[in-house]
Amino acid sequence: MSLKPQIKITLDQVEKLFKKEKIIDSSNHCIEMSRFNNGVINYVYLIKTSSNDEFVLRVRTPEKVWDTIKTENEVAIHKFVLENTTIPIPKIYSFSSIPDEILGYEYIIMEKKEGVRIATIWNSLNQEKKEIILLQIVDILAQLRKFTFDKIGSLQIDKNGNYILSKPIDLTTGPFDTFQDFLKAQIEYRIPSIQNNERFCKYIPFIEKFLEKIIPKVEYKGKFVLTHLDIGPDNILIDPKTLQITGVLDWEWAGSYPEDEDLRAEMIIEEILPDSELTKFFFFELSKRGIEKPFGFDEREQIYNFRDFLMIFVSYHWWFERNPEKKEPFIQNEMNLFEVLVEEFNLK
């Protein structure tokens, strides 16, 4: 089982990089580096300088499948969103999509947005204040969905400065013309890792039957739209006094994907909507902006769930760096749910 690569950088390295990239001048210094809670893909640091400026440094953990392309996708997405929407997104000051000679890793240096994550204050807000926030989220989602594409994939900038689509971040093939091809590639890519895992290899016959019997029957007639893919309450910053959204973070997975994926990302936000009336308000406002469930979405939901379990089996061991005691209960529960799904698809 592979473990998340450990990144080690020093404040001296960071200062050399900042001066090389002209983020700070020779009279300025990096005086403090603190590490945020990190996701699977990045180590994220807050860098403070002697001139009282603050920057965010995202350092990419090495992983062959997304070497170069993940950083370049995130940079392209930031540029596109800043140019074409009013969504508050951090400016990028410098990046390297190959291991940098100073740090030894891919990196992005970006603006630090002020605010607190919605998840940290949500339960303290009344209904009216929650609706104020939700209306802003609806506007963000509506802006993104205005942009449609003819294929599924990540966003890149070619040598002429034009936006083009490339393979999705976590795959080795693409972009894809059809939903079926995309879904099939996502599942097939995980098979070798599952085959080599003593715990999960027993699921291979079910996966093969799923590819043979279920995927060919899947229909999708919707559009491919610009989507964030991870627009949950931990990735949205808000000013707790004005309730204005100040930043939408973590665009590394964003790209052109089926409307289903965008809707499922929107449903992540539903995690902050325990009140049924508030949930109705949110989805009613989405519908007023033309955001509805694509035809056949509910039927496809279990298809996505099957795919997502395979992604979990391959990657879950990275997710518990800070809470290893939670890993085993989590994966055992996921295995139980997957086996229920296998029964529902009649794959045994």
> Is residue 2 included in any domain, yes or no?
no
CB atoms within 10 A of CB 13: 16
Of 172 and 67, which is predicted with more confidence? 172
Report pLDDT for 226.
Answer: 97
Do 221 and 131 lie in one domain? The reply is yes
Q: Mean of the pLDDT values across residues 215-228? A: 92
Residue linked to tokens 């990190």: 38
Report pLDDT for 3.
Answer: 46
State the total domains in the chain.
2
Reply yes or no on whether the pLDDT at 168 is more than 90.
yes
Non-local CB neighbours of 314 within 8 Å, separated by 6+ positions: 190, 193, 194
Backbone angles phi, psi at 108, to 5 degrees: -135, 130
Share of the chain above pLDDT 90, in %: 72
C-alpha span between 280 and 275 (Å, rounded): 9
CATH code: domain of residue 302: 3.90.1200.10
Q: Mean of the pLDDT values across residues 299-307? A: 92
Looking at this protein, which amino acid is placed at residue 86? Answer: T
Non-local CB neighbours of 91 within 8 Å, separated by 6+ positions: 78, 82, 110, 111
Do 62 and 141 lie in one domain? The reply is no
- What is the per-residue pLDDT across 242-258, written as a single tens digit (0 to 9) for each? 999 999 999 999 999 99
Closest to 41 in 3D by CA, of 11, 77, 71, 73 = 71
Q: Mean of the pLDDT values across residues 22-28? A: 95
Q: Mean of the pLDDT values across residues 221-246? A: 93
Do 90 and 130 lie in one domain? The reply is no
Report pLDDT for 53.
Answer: 96
C-alpha span between 89 and 152 (Å, rounded): 23
**Of the residues 111, 130, 161, the one at which a domain ends:** 111
CATH code: domain of residue 93: 3.30.200.20
DSSP-derived 3-state class of residue 67: coil
> Is residue 290 included in any domain, yes or no?
yes
> Is residue 49 included in any domain, yes or no?
yes
Q: Please give the mean pLDDT across all residues of the chain.
A: 90
Do 277 and 143 lie in one domain? The reply is yes
Do 123 and 107 lie in one domain? The reply is no
Non-local CB neighbours of 191 within 8 Å, separated by 6+ positions: 204, 207
C-alpha span between 138 and 131 (Å, rounded): 10
> Is residue 277 included in any domain, yes or no?
yes
Give the domain extent around 86. Answer: 11-111
C-alpha span between 41 and 63 (Å, rounded): 9
Radius of gyration of the chain from Cα atoms?
Answer: 21
Do 173 and 218 lie in one domain? The reply is yes
Tokens of residue 324, six digits? 């290893």
Report pLDDT for 66.
Answer: 66
DSSP-derived 3-state class of residue 117: strand
Do 83 and 129 lie in one domain? The reply is no
C-alpha span between 79 and 68 (Å, rounded): 17
**Of the residues 82, 111, 140, the one at which a domain ends:** 111
Do 21 and 141 lie in one domain? The reply is no
> Is residue 122 included in any domain, yes or no?
yes
Give me the helices (H) in 196-296, please.
204-209, 259-269, 276-288
Do 92 and 177 lie in one domain? The reply is no
Do 62 and 165 lie in one domain? The reply is no
DSSP 163: E
Residues 175, 282 contacting (CB under 8 angstroms):
no
For the chain, first and last CA: distance in Å? 27
Do 189 and 227 lie in one domain? The reply is yes
CB atoms within 10 A of CB 152: 25
> Is residue 51 included in any domain, yes or no?
yes
> Is residue 297 included in any domain, yes or no?
yes
Report pLDDT for 283.
Answer: 87
Reply yes or no on whether the pLDDT at 2 is more than 70.
no
Looking at this protein, which amino acid is placed at residue 33? Answer: M
> Is residue 3 included in any domain, yes or no?
no
| Alpha-carbon dihedral 77, 78, 80, 83, rounded to 10 degrees | 170
Reply yes or no on whether the pLDDT at 1 is more than 60.
no
**Of the residues 91, 111, 131, the one at which a domain ends:** 111
Do 145 and 194 lie in one domain? The reply is yes
